Amino acid sequence: MSDLTKARRQINSLNSLLKQGKPLAAVTAMHDAIQTFLKSSLMQNEKKEFTKLVEDAVYRLNSNAELRELYPVLLEYEAGKEKELLKYLREIIDTLQEDITSSARESYAELERKKQKELEEARSLVRKEDIEKADALLRKLEREHEGDFELKIEIADIWLNAEQYNKAITHLKNAYKDNPSSVHVFNRLGMALRKLGRVEDSEKAYKQALNLCPKDEYLHFNLGRLYLENKAWDKAIKSAERAMSINPDFTEAEKMYNFARKKTEQS
């Protein structure tokens, strides 16, 4: 493809892009066409043809209401001053990109505000013990934000605090699909399963978490609580020792250790 043919195609795409409501893409196409022209070695008649194409394109850009609203300065062009035109086109592109980024940030912020409002509404429903409505709201929220790992964890925490452990597990399983190597998921699963009396499953979840993060004293402590509740004193002692080896000032782990030691001595 010759340079002129390439530049012609880039400029001729303007009309279609403007009709589709894509002013940024249209200006970018124009910018790229000018760059193609400046890098090429054209015959005199080709330069004249290109100049006419640019004049028509500038007119179309200046006549586009959407672009004028976004960038209210009219473009000017004279043959031989393509570099000056290129500078203005770059300025328009930067302005439009900044506008798009700003709009995206505002949209994201609005979505976050709406999400937090609905989470608070769900917490309020839980406090009122309207579990059915809270469940429906939280399921809807998760569907609307598919792939939002942190949201699934936040929803699971709502149900953990409400002692609705099976509901928490449902959302934690969904979170696991998004991030199978999350310590937070396995730790919370361990907690929920422990509360449901599913000892073996809880132990597996805690051990999975520890495989991912073996230097977390709180994971060792949580596993120790499971052993403590099930009177597995020796295992509880080991978990407490591991927690204290990581954090010697871990008072609760020390209490666990002393309690389990006392129980073994009484056995």
- What's the pLDDT tens digit per position in 217-242? 999 999 999 999 999 999 999 999 99
Contacts of 19 by beta carbon, 8 Å cutoff, 6+ apart:
none
User: Which of 240, 161, 239, 169 minimizes the C-alpha distance to 198?
Assistant: 169
pLDDT score recorded for residue 193: 97
Alpha carbon 229 to its chain centroid, in Å, reads 38
- The span from the CA of 208 to the CA of 154, in Å, is 21
pLDDT at 266 > cutoff 90? no
Give alpha helix (H) positions in the chain.
Answer: 3-12, 14-19, 23-39, 44-63, 65-70, 82-127, 131-144, 149-161, 165-178, 183-195, 199-212, 217-229, 233-246, 251-266
Tell me if residue 42 falls in helix, strand or coil. coil
Higher per-residue pLDDT: 69 or 157: 157
- Residue among 209, 130, 211 at smallest CA distance from 164: 130
Of 111, 16, 1, nearest to 57 by C-alpha is 16
Using 50, 70 and 90 to split pLDDT, how confident is the model at 165? very high
- Reported as a pLDDT band with limits 50, 70 and 90, residue 102 is low
185/112 Cα distance (integer angstroms) = 22
The mean-pLDDT minimum among 153-157, 247-251, 252-256, 263-267 falls in 263-267
Tell me if 85 sits within 8 A of 32, measured CB to CB. no
Per the model's pLDDT, the better-predicted residue between 47 and 93 turns out to be: 93
How far is residue 72's CA from residue 92's CA, in Å, rounded to a whole number?
Answer: 10
pLDDT at res. 106: 62
Confidence of residue 103 (pLDDT cuts 50, 70, 90): low
pLDDT value of residue 155:
95
